[in-house]
Amino acid sequence: MDKRQLVSIATEARDLSYSPYSHFAVGAAVLCNDGTVFCGANVENSSYGLCMCAERNALYNALMHGKSSEDFEALAVVADTDAPVSPCGACRQVLSELFPSQKPIYLANLEGNIQETNVEELLPFAFSGDDL
């Protein structure tokens, strides 16, 4: 599967976003090495601190289907932004624990702009379980 196909699946997932407070819908899709894809969208709450981002929902969805870091090949994230959407700090921390550090992460917008990056670039000098 190429990056445009994965972004397209993330864009479909974005339609499932529950974002009545920010009106900022985000979709994400994780591709696994067996070809399966797990999606997520952001889910908000009137108690704002409980909002969950699309990237984390996609990763947790994959984990709940028995997948783990060694299964992950790529991640796509998409939102209606001018430039490709940038993951929040909380998602970067979660990605640094659950997603392979050098596998591609495709940041995209609805205009079809895609920026490729990875966890090492998104969160250098990360805090990890090794520090505990």
- 55 as an active site residue: the answer is yes
Residue that the structure tokens 């990605």 belong to: 95
Q: Within its chain, how far is the Cα of 65 from the centroid?
A: 16
Q: How many CB atoms neighbour CB 123 within 10 A? A: 19
In the complex with ligand THU, the residue whose CB is nearer, 11 or 42, is 42
Q: Is the distance from CB of 44 to CB of 51 less than 8 angstroms? A: yes
The residue count for binding ligand THU (CB under 6 A) is: 14
Please give the Cα distance from 120 to 109 (Å, whole number): 22
Binding status of residue 118 toward ligand THU by CB under 6 A: no
Q: What residues from 74 to 113 belong to the interface with ligand THU (CB under 6 A)?
A: 85, 87-88, 91
84 vs 100 by CB, closer to ligand THU:
84
Binding to ligand THU, residues 33-62 (CB under 6 A):
42, 44, 51, 53-55
Catalytic residue, candidates 55, 70, 116, 121 = 55
DSSP string over 92-112: HHHHHHHS-TTS-EEEEETTS
Rule CB under 6 A: say whether 117 interacts with ligand THU. no
Active site residues: 55
